[in-house]
Amino acid sequence: MSQPKIPVLLRLIYLLLKGIVLFVVRVFYGKVHILNRERLKLKGPAIIISNHPSTMLDPLNVACRANRFVHFLANASLFESRFTNWFFNTFYCIPVARQKDKTKRKINNQESFQRAYSFLKEGGCLYIAAEGISTQEHDLKPLRTGTARIALGTEERNDFSLGLQIIPVGIYYEDAQRFRARQILEVGEPILLKEYENENNKDHRRTVSLLTGVLNSQLAERMVITEGVKQDQQFRLLEEILAQEYPLNAGAHLKRSKKLAAWLRKGPSEFFQTKINALEDFLSESSIKIEALGSFTQFGLKQLLGLMLTPLGIIFNLAPTLIVWLVKRALKLYDGYTSSVYVLAGLIFFPIFYRINNVVLSRWIDVGYWWPLTWLAYLILGIISWYGLRNLISQWNRGRFRARLRASKEAREALANYLLLKEEIQNL
């Protein structure tokens, strides 16, 4: 089946933006691990859905892994001004209104659905954040019925002959808002709409509900799920213990994290719950990071070289880093936008200051046509300095904890709880 006709200029812009997204995600999160990547090599009409823990970055990060020109079902509030209405309609988005949104423009969802039907009929690929909301917790909100209605409506209008499929993608972050945090995408098996033809012919509404339930379960299987903010905080604490004591590759790490979340959902024994609470209380009262209680990490040549390069990285990257942080602070947005603001502001301010670096550097060295390499060097030095500073902070935290350990009964109890929990959860 042929794909929708997209003007050459928009195709080129899409490819440019895709390259930028891949680059900035690689810089911000480090290596993104993708399980079952081959399932994103799509043919024919398709809908990609995922959970939504990191606002703007989730749809971009998932879509740029597919081999298609992906369009997006987007929140109607983005289309309120004349400029944004033109921009998002031109650049690969279809507006959809939610009942809880109060938009200035009246959006006809039926019209939006018709656009989606036509786009998919032509063989297009559509991304939908099926929860309809972004949440930072390891959680899956009840899916909206829009994905199922669009998918079934498209096939229904074409006698279920299109071969439309839905691809569920579970997104996992160690911390969605933290620089260089691990990220894993798990791509599920395609769900074929043809299999729902008979059910849909009998009862369309029931089939919408049935398919939404299937999508919900398929996403949940590929996610780490906790129940409530308190449980999510405890999961992050225990996961950090496992990550620093028993590091694993991406697939094994995700599998272990799912088991840890299931253990917490089931409810640890009163004994272990008391130990978790006590460890949390100690860390909160002492302002000591959990890494300080972990096994000693040997300081080797790699760490030494990193520290030697750290001052250079700070010199070339401190000013734009501070400005990006100040922008985020000044905007006072919901914390879920932190990574999005960092990335967008970084795309503006880091090139400006890298250009200033080159102007200053040109007093001693003729940079000339080598400026891309100098920018890359500044960036690499910045990442090295981040790890170097993080290592220094880690050693400082360990020193603070060792000092407390000698003089504080609470610190010794916290270490005992840490070791006890480490042994318990490593065998999940």
Question: The domain spanning residue 139 has which CATH number?
Answer: 3.40.1130.10
In a domain, 139, yes or no: yes
Of residues 99 and 46, which shows the higher confidence score? 46
Residues 181 and 324 in one domain: no
- Choose the final residue of a domain: 221, 241, 267: 221
Which burial class, exposed, middle or buried, applies to 227 when counting CB atoms under 10 A from its CB (0-12, 13-18, 19+)?
middle
Please give the tally of structural domains in the chain: 2
pLDDT grade for 8, boundaries at 50, 70 and 90: confident
In a domain, 166, yes or no: yes
Residues 37 and 173 in one domain: yes
In a domain, 137, yes or no: yes
CB 365 within 8 A of CB 257: no
Cα 151–155–160 angle (5° rounding)? 140
Alpha helices (H) along 287-337: 301-331
Predicted TM-score (pTM) of the model is 0.90
In a domain, 320, yes or no: yes
Q: Which percentage of the chain shows pLDDT scores above 70?
A: 96
In a domain, 167, yes or no: yes
Q: Produce one character per residue of 379-414: b if its CB has 16 or more CB atoms within 10 Å, e if not.
A: bebbbbbbbbeebeebeebbebbeebbeeeeebeeb
**317-359, pLDDT tens digit by residue?**
999 999 999 999 999 888 888 999 999 999 999 999 999 999 9
pLDDT grade for 298, boundaries at 50, 70 and 90: low
Q: What is the pLDDT of residue 190?
A: 96
210 SS3 class: helix
Residues 198 and 327 in one domain: no
Residues 216 and 333 in one domain: no
Question: What is the residue type of 99?
Answer: Q
Residues 166 and 313 in one domain: no
Residues 310 and 178 in one domain: no
Instruction: Provide Rg for the chain, Cα atoms.
Output: 24
Residues 192 and 340 in one domain: no
pLDDT grade for 375, boundaries at 50, 70 and 90: very high
**254-297, pLDDT tens digit by residue?**
999 999 999 999 999 999 999 999 999 999 998 999 989 887 66
Residues 314 and 217 in one domain: no
- Determine the distance from the C-alpha atom of residue 27 to the mean position of all C-alpha atoms in its chain, rounded to a whole number: 13
Domain residue limits at 119 = 8-221
Q: What is the pLDDT of residue 237?
A: 95
- Choose the final residue of a domain: 204, 221, 238: 221
Residues 198 and 323 in one domain: no
In a domain, 241, yes or no: no
Average pLDDT of the chain is 90
**217-244, pLDDT tens digit by residue?**
999 999 999 999 999 999 999 999 999 9
| Cα–Cα dist 325/346, whole Å | 9
- Choose the final residue of a domain: 203, 221, 239: 221
Residues 88 and 181 in one domain: yes
CB 276 within 8 A of CB 290: no
Q: What is the pLDDT of residue 133?
A: 85
In a domain, 313, yes or no: yes
Q: What is the pLDDT of residue 301?
A: 73
In a domain, 323, yes or no: yes
Q: What is the pLDDT of residue 368?
A: 84
Residues 38 and 127 in one domain: yes
Residues 169 and 62 in one domain: yes
